[in-house]
Structure 1
């Protein structure tokens, strides 16, 4: 049922780090928050746990949001921008802008925050409800990274090959092979629908719309269009929970 509210979502975006062997004048820039040399990677994946875009070789010290902005403004990068009305899920490192739907900042978001105690597992507010479902869906990119890294041991202990000409290409090739394996070994779809798509959309489309004024929209790095979309999804989730169609959320 949850997916009925997110029918225009095409995937999730996040960054991850892999070990790197770097020498020369740029060594310091690859020493990041992992307290070792890493290359930072931005990736977009779909809900079948396949990569639909990767950009490797970024300095380990570079923030995810800067990488994201660099990629989006670079006309030479073939990034799969979402079609009109579609979007990716992103976390707090990224702006809430057209095509990229972020969480409500300042509210519980990560799944472990809801698991810390039995009485706090349920979302207490409408924004927490949105964040909890958003986090659950966006976790597909974390699981994709995990499955990929577990398959390739060299990622955790990078061989001392040339960085730009070998290490970056090795990582890229392993991600392409991950996709090949996922698509050709009978792996099931990661996200399981609670009911079939037609039934879900019939229910969701029947939910009454709530009018919102500008005072209800967050400010800062928020695009009004995406902020309003987020509110509408939040309202539908609240309606579904209040009518017993969402359990333990």
Structure 2
């Protein structure tokens, strides 16, 4: 609940303090001088607002997708990225934090800073559909995904993903709905990643990689918009781990709220500021059993699913 010193503040002022912290990246000390409030009061305000945003607003701006919502997302990805049956783009970013007390090297990542990982899935409107926060920065990239709640539900088939659907009029065999990611994400029935780059990569595989990259750009842009709007991500988050997770979750909720309310032009997302504090995860191993599914998508992209501009992109 609101502390004694906060009771004299209006709800507007309380929210202003929290949004100023998230939006500017100011320290609690800087906000102490700006608002003439004690540091402990400001800390309490920010934490309580972040917790309330996650508990009260998430269901409205980041609801768990139903089967119909997944189908709508897939329809939009096909429209904007020319990738059928795609229900999202996934990626992970290392969020800078100060070294947690008594944590040793658990949060020290390969980029030589302390971090926790934000794993996120987005739609083609640059809104987050799922987020998973808290993996150690030291964790291997493949382990981060496989240890996430999202992955466990994907394996358990409890995400309400629609049944496979044909993408071709000439081949009635249905293909599963898929999520697109980079090399960090193992190939599986519902997760597509690019073919490994190399000199011997065939035309068909190059086209597939380009089409997948075009779809993956949505999550890169989503992270870019997040970091540009909420500048707390431009410096190490100097709070304990639980509080840091609350801050990140609140920013993702606010991102969706602002995106839904104000919208953003697609072109604007291509000019986002560099995200020096959000580091892209690197390669992990794939799942050989799903090679056939990827090959069928690749074959579709050079035949019935061909688009006129694709040869200029490889």
Output one character per residue of 1:67-95: Cα deviation in whole Å (capped at 9) or x when no partner: 211122379x9984633321100211111
Would you say how many aligned residue pairs link Structure 1 and Structure 2? 202
- Would the aligned equivalents of 1:53 and 1:80 in 2 still touch at CA under 8 Å? no
Using a 3 Å threshold, how does the CA distance of structure 1 residues 81 and 38 change in structure 2: closer, same or farther? farther
Tell me how far 1:133 sits from its aligned partner. 1.4
Distance 1:95 1:176 in 2: 28
- Would the aligned equivalents of 2:189 and 2:293 in 1 still touch at CA under 8 Å? no
The TM-score with structure 1 as length reference comes to 0.71
Q: Equivalent residue of 1:145, what SS? A: helix
Using a 3 Å threshold, how does the CA distance of structure 1 residues 242 and 172 change in structure 2: closer, same or farther? closer
Using a 3 Å threshold, how does the CA distance of structure 1 residues 106 and 159 change in structure 2: closer, same or farther? closer
Higher helix share: 2
Report 1:169-248 matches (<5 A): 169-188=246-265, 221-224=287-290, 227-239=291-303, 244=308, 246=310, 248=312
- Would the aligned equivalents of 1:53 and 1:79 in 2 still touch at CA under 8 Å? no
- Would the aligned equivalents of 1:82 and 1:99 in 2 still touch at CA under 8 Å? no
Distance 2:307 2:179 in 1: 28
- The list of structure 1 runs, each at least 4 consecutive aligned residues, that deviate by more than 6 angstroms after superposition, is none
Using a 3 Å threshold, how does the CA distance of structure 1 residues 48 and 79 change in structure 2: closer, same or farther? farther
Output one character per residue of 1:97-128: Cα deviation in whole Å (capped at 9) or x when no partner: 111112112348xxxxxxxxxxxxxx962211
Specify which of 13, 16, 29 is matched with residue 93 of structure 2.
16
Q: Equivalent residue of 1:25, what SS? A: coil
Cross-structure match for 1:96: 187
- Specify every segment of 5 or more residues in structure 1 that has no aligned partner in the other structure, as ranges: 109-122, 191-218
- Specify every segment of 5 or more residues in structure 2 that has no aligned partner in the other structure, as ranges: 1-76, 164-175, 268-284
Specify which of 153, 159, 167 is matched with residue 244 of structure 2.
167
Specify which of 53, 56, 78 is matched with residue 3 of structure 1.
78
The TM-score with structure 2 as length reference comes to 0.57
Distance 1:107 1:79 in 2: 36
> Is the radius of gyration larger for structure 1 or structure 2?
2
